[in-house]
Amino acid sequence: MPPSRQPYDEMHAAPGDIRNHYQAFSNWLAATPAERLAHKRAEADMLFHRVGITFAVYGEEAGTERLIPFDIVPRIIPAGEWRTLAAGLKQRVRALNAFINDIYHGQEILNSGRIPPEQVLCNGQYRPEMQGIDVPGGIYAHIAGIDVVRAGEGEFYVLEDNLRVPSGVSYMLEDRKMMMRLFPELFARYSVAPVEHYPDLLLENLRSVAPLGVSDPTVVLLTPGAYNSAYFEHAFLAQQMGIELVEGQDLFVSDEFVYMRTTRGPQRVHVIYRRIDDDFLDPLVFRPDSMLGVPGLLAAYRAGHVTVANAIGTGVADDKSIYPYVPEMIKFYLGEEPMLNNVPTYVLRRKEDLAYTLDHLSELVVKEVHGAGGYGMLIGPAATREQLAQFRQRIIAAPEKYIAQPTLALSACPTFVESGIAPRHIDLRPFVLSGRDVTLVPGGLTRVALREGSLVVNSSQGGGTKDTWVLER
Amino acid sequence: MLSRTADDLYWMARYTERAENLARMLDVNYRMSLLPQASEVVERSWTATLSIIGLLENFKQRYEAVTPANALAFMAFDRQNPSSIYSCLRAARENARSVRGTVTSEMWETLNSTWLEMKSMDGRSATEAELGNFFEWVKYRSHLTRGVIQGTMLRDEPYHFTWLGTYLERADNTARILDVKYHMLLPHGEGAGGAADYYQWSALLHSVSAFEIYRKVYRDLITPRRVAELLMLRDDMPRSLHRCMSQVYMHLCSIRNDHSAETERRAGEIQASLHFGRIDDIFHIGLHEYLLQFLGRIRDLGERVAQDFLVATTKD
């Protein structure tokens, strides 16, 4: 894709030319007094504070809770575009699950020579402990958050597959609730597909992957605790699903069965929706200093007495160095052509990719293979000379830690900023659920880079969110 | 339910109740200190208050003199005093936050808003007139929290643990309020009337919202013995020891488990002694001695509750 072209504007086909699906919104915006909008934006802020929809920022004073800025201009996706997108996402997640299952069993894709075995087996996210273990339904990534960006009309690129503990779905739900509360009249003008049933789908999904023979499983959500940056979401989802929100200290393993400590004694747990990384899950196997996990959990899991969602070891498929092979996986496991594009990716462990990247550093985005949350990345076109020089040294020192991609022309959506309404870059994270079937609610989390020209949408880097409307017709 | 969740709910309720009773106690002390009286009487009153809530040492380390302004700053707004109203509201909110998946959204939002508002207040700049409003505010927020609990919570274990915390704390606090005031007032002699005494006793009744109740129940002069009877033995007085212990016993029965029989028995015993007790016998023992013993038994009960339900046990 040509990196330099004008970014796609979600609302305008050309200056003054409103796209069809934004026409009604645009009329409404023009007819709504500025004071009312300002008032509504302040109200949204107040409500988010009161409800405590906050996240903690690492590196700031302990206990700092901040709001993620919420923008009142929705991101609207026409029905037809969503159909294609949804089909492509399901296809991708099917292939990713098949890949993980294969890696922990026969490793046919490695044997066939399509992916170099050392790429997978020497990866820190590969868990030899999982080799040969059968998990219910062969499902590993029960919840996947796939980051998608738009380059042009009907032209979507997958940026990242988040298969470990993807977060953000609570903002998708709260943003919708907020929009309906602030501007109910807009929902009369548009038929927006509902997303509110996500927690029901998730619960049904989690129950469907309970260990064999358990008819009425007890599902819990395992959180690192109230000081985790995504704690709000953990509590929110547990409450919406009506399941216990547990910390590691609330669980224990006895004879390879998992129990929670209750006021009436131990109670068996069958499915753990965990929001803790593999490394911290079981101090007997992984990091011994972890206070967040449950000693003996892996043994119970291997014995098939408890289901962990997402499965241990899914990280092997969402690693940025594995990402370039996903189209290959789709062909290999499903015998289909990929419906969604991958961004061309230079894997810097390869000599020729490294050489190209070092020559074109100022045009590329360089990411850490294991990085997340927008930490530790370089955006070539926006970097200063010092930053480029520093990053060059880091790449040369450990090229296997990095990948590079062309700078994408992320689409832009009108957004409230200090100077008024101006286009800002956005992405989209839909949440794909895999259990008996692969499902997703029509929508996702739209993140917006609030700084002018910025391409970094992560909340930890000053990103905001928007309600995402998938139109029903 | 999870033991940790029970623990958080129980303490959320205790801190909320403690903040309210602190406000009540400070309010009455503050009003009394406005009456014409010698400064050493005022100082004695604040010293007694600080000592009955166990904070005199802590206070003396941080402040030079026992003045109404210092004592109020310390007990209402001091962020480093773990028992100030400020700290109690923060602790209540932190407890609610760690169980926000269990409490109703309305409960969480109520506790969170209370805390956000508290945090935005600046105690140092509070004028005397504002202090009265502040204490009223604390009380109203506590009323609101209880109302939300009453109006939105499912009647299952979390509900009972919440009320157990509320009533245990209230029993403790009422006993302390009574003790500190009684200590202050009794030297004037039981029979002694006089305008000053009248104000003191009526202020005490006001502090536990019992002034109108007293009038309704006794239709007579305010006497120390009846005040004590009202606040200790009457089951229909919502903040009395008897009422609190009846509720504690009831909620304990609702959360009964395999280890809790002895705790339940002890709560029942305290409740029964209040139910069948006579105020004359209590005065015979000595009110102060009786209240001290009562506080000890409440503390014991609290420890037993923690052991039976809240401390996570690995196995049965």
Minimum distance, in Å, between the CA of residue A110 and any CA atom of chain B: 43
**Same domain (yes/no): A461, A372:** no
The pLDDT score that the predictor gives to residue B91 is 96
Probe site for chain A from B12, B79, B98, B254 (most A CB atoms < 10 A)? B98
> Cα separation of A414 and A75, whole Å?
9
Lookup result for tokens 């802590």: B58
The pLDDT score that the predictor gives to residue B229 is 95
Region of poorest pLDDT, from A104-108, B71-75, B228-232? B71-75
**Same domain (yes/no): A79, A107:** yes
Mean pLDDT of chain A: 91
The pLDDT score that the predictor gives to residue A271 is 98
**Same domain (yes/no): A383, A415:** no
The pLDDT score that the predictor gives to residue A309 is 96
The per-residue pLDDT for range A374-389, each reduced to its tens digit, is 667 888 888 899 999 9
**Helix and strand counts by DSSP (H, E) for chain A:** 14, 25
The partner residues of A145 in beta bridges, in order of sequence, read A162, A431
Tell me if A261 and B312 make a contact (CB, 8 A cut-off): yes
ipTM confidence: 0.78
Residues 6+ apart with CB under 8 A from A401: A348, A368, A369, A370
**Same domain (yes/no): B301, B179:** yes
Tell me if A250 and B313 make a contact (CB, 8 A cut-off): no
The pLDDT score that the predictor gives to residue B315 is 38
- Closest chain A residue by Cα to residue B103: A239
Is A401 a member of any domain? yes
**Same domain (yes/no): A170, A43:** yes
Residue that finishes a domain, picked among B132, B153, B174: B153
The per-residue pLDDT for range A30-86, each reduced to its tens digit, is 999 999 999 999 999 888 888 877 766 555 454 567 788 899 999 999 999 999 999
**Same domain (yes/no): B215, B230:** yes
**Same domain (yes/no): B220, B183:** yes
**Same domain (yes/no): A241, A260:** yes
Residue that finishes a domain, picked among A369, A387, A406: A406
> Cα separation of A407 and A379, whole Å?
8
Tell me if B101 and A235 make a contact (CB, 8 A cut-off): yes
Is A439 a member of any domain? yes
Structural domain span for residue B246: 155-316
> Cα separation of B205 and A106, whole Å?
79
- Closest chain B residue by Cα to residue A253: B314
**Same domain (yes/no): B162, B109:** no
**Same domain (yes/no): B257, B175:** yes
- Closest chain A residue by Cα to residue B95: A226
**Same domain (yes/no): B231, B130:** no
Q: Is A438 helix (H, G, I), strand (E, B) or coil?
A: strand
A·B CB contacts under 8 A: 75
Tell me if A239 and B100 make a contact (CB, 8 A cut-off): yes
Is A1 a member of any domain? no
The per-residue pLDDT for range B13-31, each reduced to its tens digit, is 999 999 999 999 888 888 7
How do beta strands A65-67 and A70-77 pair? unpaired
> Cα separation of A366 and A207, whole Å?
39
Phi, psi of A104 (to 5 degrees): -90, 5
Among A313, A244, A321, A261, CA closest to A282 = A313
Is A311 a member of any domain? yes
**Same domain (yes/no): A374, A416:** no
Q: What is the DSSP secondary structure assignment for residue B316, as one 8-state letter?
A: -
> Cα separation of B100 and B93, whole Å?
10
The per-residue pLDDT for range A174-221, each reduced to its tens digit, is 999 999 999 999 999 999 999 999 999 999 999 999 999 999 999 999
Minimum-distance CB partner of B2 among A49, A246, A254: A246
Residue that finishes a domain, picked among B153, B168, B184: B153
Count of structural domains within chain A: 2
The per-residue pLDDT for range A287-311, each reduced to its tens digit, is 888 889 999 999 999 999 999 999 9
The pLDDT score that the predictor gives to residue A138 is 94
CA distances from A383 to A357, A454, B73 (A): 15, 11, 51
When pLDDT is cut at 50, 70 and 90, the band that residue B69 belongs to is confident
B154-160 own/partner pairs: CB under 8 Å, 24+ apart = B156/B1, B157/A263, B157/B1, B157/B6, B157/B254, B157/B255, B158/B1, B158/B5, B158/B6, B158/B9, B158/B102, B158/B103, B160/B251, B160/B254, B160/B255
CB atoms within 10 A of CB B14: 25
**Same domain (yes/no): B299, B287:** yes
When pLDDT is cut at 50, 70 and 90, the band that residue B125 belongs to is low
Q: Where residue A399 sits, what CATH number does that domain have?
A: 3.30.1490.270
Mean pLDDT of chain B: 89
**Same domain (yes/no): B161, B74:** no
Helices A169-182/A34-51 angle, 10° precision: 140
Lookup result for tokens 């899950």: A281
B297, with CB counted inside 10 A (0-12, 13-18, 19+), is middle
Task: Collect all residues from A whose CB is shorter than 8 A from any CB in B.
Answer: 49-52, 221, 225-226, 234-236, 238-239, 244-247, 249-250, 252, 254, 260-266
Q: Which region holds residue B209: left if phi is over 0, alpha if psi is between -120 and 50, else beta?
A: left
Minimum distance, in Å, between the CA of residue A202 and any CA atom of chain B: 16
Compute the C-alpha angle A273/A293/A212, nearest 5°.
40
State the pTM of this model: 0.85
Probe site for chain A from B100, B144, B314 (most A CB atoms < 10 A)? B100
Tell me if A260 and B2 make a contact (CB, 8 A cut-off): yes
> Cα separation of A307 and A310, whole Å?
9
Region of poorest pLDDT, from A127-141, A268-282, B32-46? B32-46
Residue that finishes a domain, picked among B153, B168, B188: B153
Among A352, A432, A459, CA closest to A399 = A352
Minimum distance, in Å, between the CA of residue B113 and any CA atom of chain A: 6
The pLDDT score that the predictor gives to residue B312 is 54
**Same domain (yes/no): A400, A422:** no
- In this predicted structure, the answer to whether residue B316 has a pLDDT above a threshold of 60 is no
**Same domain (yes/no): B131, B188:** no
Structure tokens at A183: 């501007």
**Same domain (yes/no): A277, A389:** no
Structural domain span for residue A378: 346-406
> Cα separation of A118 and A333, whole Å?
20
The pLDDT score that the predictor gives to residue B179 is 86
Count of structural domains within chain B: 2
When pLDDT is cut at 50, 70 and 90, the band that residue B190 belongs to is very low
Lookup result for tokens 């206990």: A63
Minimum distance, in Å, between the CA of residue A225 and any CA atom of chain B: 8
**Helix and strand counts by DSSP (H, E) for chain B:** 15, 0
Residue that finishes a domain, picked among A363, A387, A406: A406
**Same domain (yes/no): B23, B74:** yes
Residue that finishes a domain, picked among A406, A435, A456: A406
The per-residue pLDDT for range A173-187, each reduced to its tens digit, is 999 999 999 999 999
- Closest chain A residue by Cα to residue B256: A264
**Same domain (yes/no): B186, B290:** yes
Minimum distance, in Å, between the CA of residue A210 and any CA atom of chain B: 21
Phi, psi of A334 (to 5 degrees): -105, -15
